[in-house]
Structures are given as C-alpha cells and as structure tokens.
C-alpha cells in the first residue's frame, strides 16, 4: 500500500526512488503484508481498516477516508506533534434470534490509523468534515515547512562568496 505521508524513515526514499534496494524493500514489505491472498493482512484477520486517500498540496496534507456506517461521534481525529491519528469504531448491528446460517463479510470493530508528517503542521488549524460516510481532513503545513522556489544566482555571490573568501584568507 503506497503512502504519500511517511510512517517514519520512509520520507527519505523519495530522494532515492531509482534505488534498486528501495524497490526491493517495498516488494518485501508487500510480500509480508499481503501473504497468500494478495490482500493486506488486516483484511485477512477480520480487522476493520477504512480505506484512506492521501494527498499533499503546497499548503496542506489532505486525507479522505471511507467510513460508512460509522457515526460521526464514534470517530476521533487527534494531532500531536507531527502525527495524525484517526480512530473509531464500527459496531456490529444488533440482530434478533435467527434460524439458519449467516455469512458475514462486513467488518466491525475498532480501528486506528496513524500518519507521520515529514514537516511540522498547524495542529490548531486542522479541519475535519464528515458527510455521507466520507471523512475529509485537511492538515495545514506551517509557514516554515511550505516549499519555496529558490532563485539561482549566476557566479559566486551571497553566502558562498563570503565563505570562499574566508577559506582563501585562512589558507593564505
């Protein structure tokens, strides 16, 4: 399962996408995460894990989770440091006594998903919206963490010029 948001040191491999070892590691992770059936382990064990789309814009990290059948009050969104945790519970429907057999495919139970951001975020400015079984979360980046385009100067100028001159003075 790919992720825009890192879960630890995984933010580094973005710099090394062409690295064969990185691709091998991802294949190994997938092999152990999806044994035999090709489905993530959580789905095989009966755990409820809501699907989550992740997107990064210049100013925000955006999350969209499918959480049908879960009441808004049963979902919790917490931000601590550079970490977002989304948790909740899908309860099993109460059923009266039934004759015959049942086959249940829908998953119930608690879930928790945690995402680590590679940069600081504005925890107090996080917005969450729940509509028709879809939870949307917008996590703003801090001003310091937003990307900016660097103008490339011609020749030796600025800090490099000063540092090079100091190096030459020491060598002389």
Q: 128-145: per-residue pLDDT in tens?
A: 999 999 999 999 998 776
Q: Which residue has the tokens 């590679």?
A: 118
Q: Note whether residue 159 is domain-resident.
A: no
Please tell me the predicted confidence (pLDDT) of residue 120: 83
Residue in the structure block whose two tokens are 């309860």: 91
Do 86 and 70 touch, CB atoms closer than 8 A?
A: no
Structural domains counted in the chain: 1
63 burial type by CB count under 10 A (0-12 exposed, 13-18 middle, 19+ buried): buried
pLDDT tens digits along 85-125: 999 988 776 666 667 776 666 667 888 999 999 888 999 99
What's the pLDDT at 164?
A: 74
3-state secondary structure of 103: coil
Could you tell me if residue 43 is inside a domain?
yes
The 75-80 sheet, strands edge to edge: 75-80, 83-90, 109-116
Q: Report the predicted TM-score, pTM, of the whole model to 2 decimal places.
A: 0.57
- Running DSSP on this structure, what letter comes out for residue 91? P
Query: By the 8 A CB rule, do 6 and 116 touch?
Result: yes
State which residues form the domain around 53. Answer: 9-93+101-148
Identify the band that residue 72 occupies on the pLDDT scale cut at 50, 70 and 90.
Answer: very high
d(CA 4, CA 63) in angstroms, rounded, equals 10
Is position 2 within any domain? no
> Which residues, in sequence order, are CB contacts of 75 under 8 Å at separation 6+?
67, 86, 87, 88, 130, 135
CA-wise closest residue to 111 among 77, 82, 81, 139: 77
Euclidean distance between CA atoms 70 and 108, whole angstroms: 10
- Residue 163 in domain: no
Pick the closest to residue 65 from 78, 79, 49 (CA basis).
Answer: 49
**CATH number of the domain residue 66 falls in:** 2.60.40.790
Q: How confident is the model at residue 78 (pLDDT cuts 50, 70, 90)?
A: very high
Examine residue 1 and state whether it is found in any structural domain, yes or no: no
């Amino acid at each position: 399962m790919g992720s825009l948001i890192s879960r630890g040191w995984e933010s580094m491999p973005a710099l090394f996408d062409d690295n064969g070892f990185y691709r091998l590691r991802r294949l190994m992770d997938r092999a152990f995460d999806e044994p035999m059936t090709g489905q993530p382990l959580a789905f095989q064990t009966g755990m409820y894990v809501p699907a989550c789309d992740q997107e990064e814009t210049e100013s925000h990290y955006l999350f969209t989770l499918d959480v049908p059948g879960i009441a808004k009050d049963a979902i919790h969104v917490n931000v601590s440091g550079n970490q977002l945790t989304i948790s909740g519970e899908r309860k099993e429907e109460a059923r009266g006594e039934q004759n015959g057999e049942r086959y249940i495919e829908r998953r119930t139970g608690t879930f928790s998903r945690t995402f680590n951001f590679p940069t600081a975020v504005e925890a107090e400015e996080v917005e969450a919206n729940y509509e028709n079984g879809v939870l949307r979360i917008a996590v703003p980046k801090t001003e310091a963490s937003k990307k900016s385009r660097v103008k490339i100067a011609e020749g030796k100028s600025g800090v490099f010029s000063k540092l090079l001159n100091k190096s030459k003075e020491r060598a002389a």
